[in-house]
Structure 1
Amino acid sequence: MNASELRDIIEWMIGGARSAPTPPQMMAECCERLVRAGLPLWRIGVFVRTLHPEIYGRHFFWKPGAEVETGTVDHNILDSPEFAVSPLSTVFRQGVEVRARLDDPASARFPIVVDLQAEGVTDYIAVPLVYTDGFVNASSWTTRQPGGFTDEQLDAIRSIAVPLARYIEIITLRRTASLLLDTYVGNRAGERIMGGQIRRGHADTMDAAIWLSDLRGFTALSDRLPAETVVEILNLYFDCQVSAIRDHGGEVLKFMGDGLLAVFPIDEYLGDEVQVCSRVLEAARASRAGVEALQFANGDAVERFRFGLALHLGRVLYGNIGGGNRLDFTCIGPAVNLAARLEKIAGRLGRTVVASERFAGISDGGWSDLGEFPIAGFAKAERVYGLYDEAPVAAAS
């Protein structure tokens, strides 16, 4: 092991590994430099847990002469029998090293040893990567060197684990902040906040298609069901909309009880109103079908659900609004207010999807004129449109 080269690698990592701008590139360069310094590495893995509602963690695998493999695992891995008997499970739970020399019969307790033997691996060590707050991630190191790792080589791996943990902690914190912002405020809003748009009053205007929906009969439903059941129903109901909205270029800004506010931005330079409205309508039809198919067993009865959706096109103010140090990144403006009024009209008319005259005039979706209605807070009445393929039903209470 070349001690001078090892120190250079450690200093490079402490300095932020600037020659490798992405985590996979950093891992590739680090492992290649370690091999040149005399560390006989074969398959190396780094396993990083994440703060994400769907993803338990990310993994990175390096082998000589190959691209770094990356992937994710969901939270179900915690219940898998394979993970329970993995060395990594011990590292995560106890924060200790786990070694499996393949010539040691005791290593047979780890099923992964069989796979490693098939690759010609002679030694395996899982090393904790400990953050400054004590949070533990893990790394695995293998070699095909006869006799396994030497004590000097193991010490080199342990010395690398410390700066590697710091590098991963910094990258993970930035990534976690981005993921949390995406999860709780939406992708575009998250990008703006990460970009420094954090002060109250920081706002921009944009043209967008506005989506405002509401679950019919929710008040009566929540009055007669346990709170836990209501939350479960809401999650199923929102699932019917969120994926359709995101798949068609929209961004969910806010959940308001059983209500949902989303926007589909219009590019001011492309002038793509027709394409945007077409995607919005596709998302609306997909959401309508999903909610119509949704049912929930309630004792001997089966609850079925309906929702109302108002679509409008207009200019919104998009930015930070709030009081003191508690802010919300959302959109406001007359266009949003009009969408909210239209959603109430949809309920009175027994319609699922309604649109303003401006949206229906741009979207070629087969609209029927439902009449002109006075709008509270607006001086002018608004003509409202409904889909041809939708018959009105009795409004839910």
Structure 2
Amino acid sequence: MTTENKIPTAAELWATREPTPFHATSLFFDIRGSTHLLTHLGEQPLARILQVFFGEAIPATEEEGGTVLHFSGDGALVLFTGENAVDAAVRAALRLIDIARHRVTQKIPQTAEGVFGLLGHDGIDITVGIDTSLIYGVAVGRAPEPLVSWTGRGVHTAAKLSRLAPPDTIAITQESVSARRTVAPPAGSSRMRFEVGGEERVVYVTSAAKH
């Protein structure tokens, strides 16, 4: 089976009826403390926060070349392919953190006081995990519009890192750093080790405040 460097469509996956591998950089972002916000702000204010955040976050990732493939609660999986995939993912991650910290309460100022009282700062907290490896797409359901399941180490590692990293940081694996065209960790990053999937991984964690 040929491994490609592009994201297969649902129709292509359905036609093969087999798990299809491709190389990609996975970016998973997740809002921190959403349960805490729900408890103290209420359902409707939190829903409005999510609406504003995703309304700006999704176009931002797409502008950097990402493809949003999957939502999971208050997080999302975005894939990047091509020669500059990792650098594009890092740029998207920085934009996501900026949107979370500054744009949300600017657009809905009535929530600013409540968010500040809960978190101690303006805006909401998010974390971002990035990994570069093989991804598999699997078509499920039935034609003409089958659903697609995305799996592979990159997807699961990126999601796990987004849960382990401190708020407002980007956790990027050694594999992704090695794949960067700049061949260096993101500026201002610190080298850490996290256990992901039963194995210890070298991870670089960088704060958006340092960019």
Please state which band the TM-score falls in when normalised by the shorter chain.
Answer: 0.7 to 0.9
Normalising by structure 2, we get a TM-score of: 0.77
Per-residue displacement from partner, 1:279-307 (whole Å, max 9, x unpaired)?
Answer: 12221122221111121445782422110
Which residue number in structure 1 is paired with residue 30 of structure 2? Answer: 214
Alignment CA distance shift 1:356-1:321 (3 Å) = farther
Report sequence identity in percent: 19
CA contact (8 A) 2:188 2:206 kept: yes
Q: How does 1:73-84 map to 2 (within 5 A)?
A: none
- State the secondary structure of the residue aligned to 2:65: coil
Q: Give the Cα separation in 2 of the matches to 1:290 and 1:328.
A: 30
Distance 1:300 1:368, change over 3 A: closer
Within the candidate set 115, 133, 136, 1:314 is matched to 133
Quick one: distance in 2 between partners of 1:229 and 1:247? 28
Q: How many Å separate the matches in 1 of 2:81 and 2:12?
A: 21
| Alpha carbons of structure 1 residues 225 and 356: separation in structure 2 relative to 1, 3 Å | same
Aligned residue for 1:359? 176
- Residue 251 of structure 1 deviates from its aligned partner by 0.5
Q: For the structure 1 residues 224 and 277, does the alpha-carbon distance in structure 2 shift closer, same or farther, using more than 3 Å as the test?
A: same
Contact 1:205 1:317 in 2 (8 A): yes
Give yes or no for contact 1:316–1:332 (8 Å, CA) kept in 2.
Answer: yes
Equivalent positions of 1:55-74 (< 5 A) are: none
Bigger Cα Rg:
1
Note the 1:344-355 alignment, pairs <5 A.
344-346=163-165, 349-355=166-172
Q: How far apart, in 2, do the equivalents of 1:231 and 1:288 lie?
A: 19
Which ranges in structure 1 are unaligned for 5 or more consecutive residues? Answer: 1-187, 267-271, 392-397
Alpha-carbon RMSD: 2.8
1:334 aligns with 2:173: no
Is contact 1:214–1:343 with CA below 8 Å preserved after alignment? yes
Change (3 A) 1:322 1:335: farther
Q: Which residue number corresponds to residue 283 of structure 1?
A: 92
Does the CA contact (< 8 Å) of 1:200 and 1:321 recur in 2? Answer: no
CA deviation profile, 1:170-226 (whole Å, cap 9, x unmatched):
xxxxxxxxxxxxxxxxxx66xx33x46437944311100101010011011122334
> Is the 8 Å Cα contact of residues 206 and 317 (structure 1) preserved in structure 2?
yes
- For the structure 1 residues 389 and 305, does the alpha-carbon distance in structure 2 shift closer, same or farther, using more than 3 Å as the test? closer
1:370 maps to what in 2?
191
Q: In the TM superposition, what are the counterparts of 1:29-40 in structure 2 within 5 Å?
A: none
Deviation at 1:308, TM superposition (A): 0.5
1:361 positional shift: 2.7
**Number of the residue aligned with 2:40:** 224
Indicate conservation of the 8 Å contact 1:237/1:291, yes or no. Answer: yes
**How many residues are paired up?**
189
In the TM superposition, residue 230 of structure 1 has moved relative to its aligned partner by 2.3
Q: Is the 8 A contact 2:28 2:162 kept in 1?
A: yes
The alpha carbon displacement at 1:370 in A equals 3.2
- In structure 2, the partner of 1:247 is 63
TM-score, structure 1 normalization: 0.43
| Higher alpha-carbon deviation: 300-309 or 335-344 | 300-309
Unmatched 5+ stretches in structure 2: 1-6, 116-122
Q: CA deviation at 1:228?
A: 3.0
Q: Look up the SS of the partner of 1:224 in the other structure.
A: helix
Q: Distance in 1 between matches of 2:79 and 2:138?
A: 13
Identify if the C-alpha distance between structure 1 residues 240 and 315 changes in structure 2 by more than 3 Å, giving closer, same or farther. Answer: same
Measured at CA, do residues 276 and 223 of structure 1 come closer, stay the same or move farther in structure 2, by a change above 3 Å? same
State the match for 1:301 in structure 2. 113
| Cα distance change of structure 1 residues 201 and 227 upon mapping to structure 2, 3 Å threshold | farther
Q: Per-residue deviation at 1:354?
A: 1.3
Q: Point out which structure has higher relative CO (alpha carbons under 8 A, 6+ apart).
A: 2
